Chains A and B, each alone.
Chain A
Amino acid sequence: MTTTDTRPTTVRPATEYLDPKLNSKIPEGPIERKWERHKFEMKLVSPTNRRRYTIIVVGSGLAGASAAATLAEAGYNVKCYTYHDSPRRAHSIAAQGGINAAKNYRNDGDSVFRLFYDTVKGGDFRAREANVYRLAEVSMAIIDQCVAQGVPFAREYSGYLDNRSFGGAQVARTFYARGQTGQQLLLGAYQALSRQIGLGQVKMFSRTEMLDLVVIDGRARGIVTRDMVTGKIESHVADAVVLATGGYSNVFYLSTNAKASNATAIWRAYRRGAFFGNPCFTQIHPTCIPVSGDHQSKLTLMSESLRNDGRVWVPKTPGDKRPPSSIPEDERDYYLERKYPSFGNLAPRDIASRAAKQVCDEGRGVGPGGLGVYLDFSDAIKRLGRKVIEERYGNLFEMYERITGENPYETPMRIYPAVHYTMGGLWVDYNLMSTIPGLFVIGEANFSDHGANRLGASALMQGLADGYFILPYTIADYLASTKFTKVDTTHIAFREAEAEVTDRIKRLLNTKGTRTVDMFHRELGKIMWDYCGMARNEAGLKHALEVIPELRERFWREVKVPGEGNDINQELEKAGRVADFMELAELMCIDALHRNESCGGHFREEHQTEEGEAKRDDENFAYVAAWEFTGLGTKPVLHKEPLYFEYVKPTIRSYK
């Protein structure tokens, strides 16, 4: 998004909440020299010594596959795990739009500093400056690497790479491969990983789900997994563990995430002592296809680019059930154009989402259940002709028609916001290491560089930056500076973790209750959407914190998981994941309740301007909230990592 208002806000001195347990390890020096200097100062593992180390990488999406491949190329022994049948299925594959990089190929004034600036500001000043700067810095090498791998990025007739512009930027810095950029980048990383599997440098465990983390002498030393075909519970030892297991939007049941996307790996690590950063920061995307009924199993995103030519409106009168074509012009409310005249239909994601919710709450929503708004192309078709619209959005219109059975050339699209990304995740320091030494977290799974709101085309950039260019350096420093004691799977910690995992599976199978896992998951999702979704308030969050533990208890009493534990049992897999969502949901609400301000995707109704815009409180909340597990049912301990803004001064965002 572009911000027009630059009134400075007050930031509380960060030294006021320095926490001894949170050392962000940001290197000294000017921001543009930090990473370079740090790379020189970090210890190295010599090429001949690398084969002595084993690294576990859990997850094989953009972050996991790129990290596993790069570490294997360097000579480490890598074990990589995925619950899919193949590493190529990871949900990174569904990203459509593109990947940002500060190449400035368009000669339009882009630079590392500008990408850094846009990202910090877009994140509503809740991200760590040093990390964001590094992300912008390595963004260019990602594009180089991907081209070398054969990623078929869009080209101009000259043969040079093409760029498009994206939300939140005034420059064209987004590289893309049609509407399948995530797929092509993932296949690039998958192929690099496949090469290392073929060479025997990576041992790939597919259809294998991580169910616990094993910590020995305070260090992450392995994982416990379940073989999803045979049900066998197994232990795996390593010198370091990398989690690249994605986000947790599925806590809402309905989201744009793939069905299997879950929080179990990071949640188990949290229970073992890794702090959870900003769990309440979720991003809600304004243009998704609305829910069509109770049967709905997931939501589908429609590219944000549609808002370039579509006009968003609802009827002026609540309960107006006439078909859109019979509602005359003066009875329509083009509410984005009305409220944000200078940005209009291109208002940023968080603003556009909240505005849609507001009109639906007023009873003016359209379609089944009244949860939808129109995205109307009739003016654009009149102005530009059908052919132009077809060229620009043909594939999206086709996708819409396939799902809804309605033709958007003739009748307006219906859209509604949906959860699609979580900025929160496990807290990591500058080296991407969690509060458990030896446990690294990369990609969407960490609390990330996006602050309270992620800009479009930045998720792919972060996943690949972490995996290709950051983690391989920082993990070497950890390995080289740590003295390892020899452990194997007979260690008591492994035995205990295996026993806990086995017990939990037995409990799920033996409950033999009366309700399915999906029923509980839907119920949880509804609570989260109603009270911890697009808009949150104190009363609602407190209510959620009462009903979630009740629901969790009922789950363990009444859930029905058919079948056995020793073969493919998809209900059992789901049950374990939903059980963890039930715990995570509570933490998200605790975090949302504590963050008594509005920022980015976190909108607390108590903190809004007279016009209904988010009101940040930099004086009291310019920090990362990192939560420490203290036992189920007891309140987690809050640790605060202060955020310093030396290069981008916090300002109030305005889009009027």
Chain B
Amino acid sequence: MNLTLHVWRQKNAQSEGRFVTYQAKNIIPDMSFLEMLDVVNQELILKGEEPIAFEHDCREGICGSCGMVINGYPHGGHRGTTTCQLHMRHFKDGDVITIEPWRARAFPVLKDLIVDRSAFDRIIQAGGFISANTGVAQDANTVLVPKQNAEAAMDAAACIGCGACVAACPNASAMLFTAAKITHLGLLPQGQPERYTRVVRMVEQMDREGFGGCTNIGECSAACPKEIPLSVIARMNRDLLVAKLKGVN
């Protein structure tokens, strides 16, 4: 099939970007979306033009590197699917596809479809961990974790840090990302001692990075390729409230 692409091109963080139109020819339905872009890029290189820059790595939906807004939807809008796992059989001959980077103040564009997501790293650095130095641990089975807690913690821990939640949110909020980590660690007995300082530190950092607030729209969870439930945000807000009542600063 043949497709028309409108792709956001931007040389670097300092320059202005614009949409450029490309034709993607002889695309096979078995190709992934990124493989379709590979085809376009190979042609551009042979023509002596710079290829479209986009991030990608594992191409099996787990590393969280890839991500672009496809026809208005982060990762293309198919349930539980990252861009690298989106296949061209979902498109048809003659389709016009608009491709943009994540749009959020806290995620500045570095080039074309590549954005800087280091704000997420800084949120984790602020408190998204359990302080357990190597060597301190006692035998693993001395900590018992109820199965349902372990499962719920795993649901939240499945976050791949791609940033689709921020891109989908009209407020560019990072609540789903932050709350997923708070939920993961807060559900486990090992995470209890730092539970309230963690939520305070991480939320502080989140606000400092320039992410917006949550207005309970739910786009984040709908766009999440790992289907992290919206309820994690409620849990984070509850923990934050308790932390404030406890006077944790």
Q: In whole angstroms, what is the CA distance A472 to B125 when docked?
A: 22
Give the A interface residue count (CB, 8 A): 79
Given A152-B153, A516-B45, A296–B161 Cβ distance below 8 Å?
A: no
User: A571 near B45 (CB under 8 angstroms)?
Assistant: yes
User: B137 near A183 (CB under 8 angstroms)?
Assistant: no
One of A209-217, A399-407, A546-554 at the interface: A399-407
| B75 within 8 Å of A (CB atoms) | no
One of B35-43, B94-102, B207-215 at the interface: B35-43
The interface bits of chain A over 144-171 (1 if a CB of B lies within 8 angstroms of the residue's CB, else 0) are 1111111011111111110000000000
Within 166-193 of B, Cβ neighbours of A (below 8 Å) are at 184-185, 188, 190-191
Which of A105, A150, A161, A469 makes the CB contact (< 8 A) with B130? A150
| B242 within 8 Å of A (CB atoms) | no
| A285 within 8 Å of B (CB atoms) | no
Using Cβ atoms and an 8 Å threshold, which residues of chain B touch A402?
81, 85, 87
| A568 within 8 Å of B (CB atoms) | yes
| A33 within 8 Å of B (CB atoms) | no
Q: In whole angstroms, what is the CA distance A298 to B131 when docked?
A: 37
Within 508-534 of A, Cβ neighbours of B (below 8 Å) are at 514, 516, 518-519
One of A23-31, A40-48, A87-95 at the interface: A87-95
Within 297-330 of A, Cβ neighbours of B (below 8 Å) are at 297-298, 300-301
Q: In whole angstroms, what is the CA distance A141 to B138 when docked?
A: 8
Q: In whole angstroms, what is the CA distance A148 to B29 when docked?
A: 46
Q: List 11 A-B contacts (CB under 8 A).
A: A69-B134, A70-B133, A91-B57, A93-B58, A93-B62, A94-B58, A150-B129, A152-B184, A184-B157, A402-B81, A472-B134
Tell me which of A66, A103, A192 has the highest count of chain B C-beta atoms within 10 A of its own C-beta.
Answer: A192
Q: Which A residue sits closest to B185, measured CB to CB?
A: A150
| A342 within 8 Å of B (CB atoms) | no
Given A85-B118, A198-B125, A259-B57, A296–B134 Cβ distance below 8 Å?
A: no
Given A93-B58, A149-B129, A159–B111 Cβ distance below 8 Å?
A: no
Q: In whole angstroms, what is the CA distance A296 to B38 when docked?
A: 10
Interface residues of A (CB under 8 A from B): 66, 69-70, 73, 84-89, 91, 93-94, 103, 105, 141, 143-150, 152-161, 177-178, 180, 183-184, 187, 190-192, 194-195, 197-198, 204, 206, 229, 258-260, 292-293, 295-298, 300-301, 402-405, 468-469, 472, 514, 516, 518-519, 560, 562-563, 567-568, 570-571
Which of B34, B114, B131, B136 makes the CB contact (< 8 A) with A568? B114
Which of A84, A147, A514, A516 makes the CB contact (< 8 A) with B57? A84
User: A88 near B58 (CB under 8 angstroms)?
Assistant: no
One of B1-9, B46-54, B216-224, B230-238 at the interface: B46-54
Q: Which B residue sits closest to A184, measured CB to CB?
A: B157
Given A155-B147, A259-B59, A568-B110, A293–B28 Cβ distance below 8 Å?
A: yes
Q: Which A residue sits closest to B130, measured CB to CB?
A: A150
Given A300-B60, A405-B87, A155–B161 Cβ distance below 8 Å?
A: no
**B97 CB to nearest A CB, Å:** 17
User: B117 near A85 (CB under 8 angstroms)?
Assistant: yes
The interface bits of chain B over 115-155 (1 if a CB of A lies within 8 angstroms of the residue's CB, else 0) are 01110110011111111111111111101111100110110
Using Cβ atoms and an 8 Å threshold, which residues of chain A touch B49?
562
Number of cross-chain contacts by CB at 8 Å: 210
Given A150-B191, A195-B125, A567-B11, A187–B118 Cβ distance below 8 Å?
A: no
Given A148-B137, A194-B124, A157–B147 Cβ distance below 8 Å?
A: yes
Given A159-B145, A295-B28, A194–B130 Cβ distance below 8 Å?
A: no
Using Cβ atoms and an 8 Å threshold, which residues of chain A touch B141?
103, 105, 160-161
**B207 CB to nearest A CB, Å:** 17
User: B56 near A293 (CB under 8 angstroms)?
Assistant: no
**B104 CB to nearest A CB, Å:** 15
| B74 within 8 Å of A (CB atoms) | no
Which of B30, B58, B110, B140 makes the CB contact (< 8 A) with A161? B140
| B89 within 8 Å of A (CB atoms) | yes
User: B28 near A150 (CB under 8 angstroms)?
Assistant: no
Using Cβ atoms and an 8 Å threshold, which residues of chain A touch B130?
148-150, 191
Using Cβ atoms and an 8 Å threshold, which residues of chain B touch A141?
135, 137
Interface footprint category on B: 35 or more
User: A93 near B63 (CB under 8 angstroms)?
Assistant: yes
Interface residues of B (CB under 8 A from A): 11-12, 28-32, 34-35, 38-39, 42, 44-46, 48-51, 53, 55-60, 62-65, 81, 85, 87, 89, 110-111, 114, 116-118, 120-121, 124-141, 143-147, 150-151, 153-154, 157-158, 160-161, 184-185, 188, 190-191
Q: In whole angstroms, what is the CA distance A567 to B161 when docked?
A: 25
Q: Which A residue sits closest to B47, measured CB to CB?
A: A562
Closest 7 CB pairs of A and B: A159-B144, A191-B129, A148-B137, A198-B125, A144-B137, A148-B132, A155-B150
User: A145 near B57 (CB under 8 angstroms)?
Assistant: no
Using Cβ atoms and an 8 Å threshold, which residues of chain B touch A195?
125, 129, 131
Tell me which of B89, B130, B134 has the highest count of chain A C-beta atoms within 10 A of its own C-beta.
Answer: B134
User: B53 near A568 (CB under 8 angstroms)?
Assistant: yes
User: A145 near B110 (CB under 8 angstroms)?
Assistant: no
Q: In whole angstroms, what is the CA distance A154 to B63 when docked?
A: 21
User: A297 near B29 (CB under 8 angstroms)?
Assistant: no
Using Cβ atoms and an 8 Å threshold, which residues of chain B touch A568?
12, 53, 110-111, 114
User: B62 near A94 (CB under 8 angstroms)?
Assistant: yes
Using Cβ atoms and an 8 Å threshold, which residues of chain B touch A91?
57-58, 63
User: B117 near A86 (CB under 8 angstroms)?
Assistant: yes
Given A194-B128, A405-B29, A469–B134 Cβ distance below 8 Å?
A: yes
Using Cβ atoms and an 8 Å threshold, which residues of chain A touch B117?
85-86
User: B87 near A562 (CB under 8 angstroms)?
Assistant: no
Using Cβ atoms and an 8 Å threshold, which residues of chain B touch A147?
137, 140, 143, 190
**B238 CB to nearest A CB, Å:** 19
User: B129 near A194 (CB under 8 angstroms)?
Assistant: yes
User: A403 near B111 (CB under 8 angstroms)?
Assistant: no
Given A94-B63, A149-B129, A560-B45, A468–B190 Cβ distance below 8 Å?
A: no
Q: Which A residue sits closest to B37, measured CB to CB?
A: A297
Given A143-B140, A194-B121, A150–B45 Cβ distance below 8 Å?
A: no
User: A187 near B157 (CB under 8 angstroms)?
Assistant: yes
Q: In whole angstroms, what is the CA distance A295 to B35 when docked?
A: 7
Using Cβ atoms and an 8 Å threshold, which residues of chain B touch A514?
46
Given A93-B63, A191-B124, A560-B45, A145–B132 Cβ distance below 8 Å?
A: yes
Given A145-B134, A258-B63, A197–B45 Cβ distance below 8 Å?
A: no
Using Cβ atoms and an 8 Å threshold, which residues of chain A touch B190?
147-150
Given A152-B150, A154-B150, A197–B138 Cβ distance below 8 Å?
A: no
User: B57 near A260 (CB under 8 angstroms)?
Assistant: yes
**A651 CB to nearest B CB, Å:** 34
Given A157-B147, A194-B124, A518-B38, 16 further pairs, Cβ under 8 A = A85-B118, A87-B121, A89-B65, A141-B135, A144-B139, A149-B190, A177-B154, A197-B125, A258-B58, A295-B31, A301-B60, A402-B87, A404-B30, A560-B48, A563-B50, A570-B51
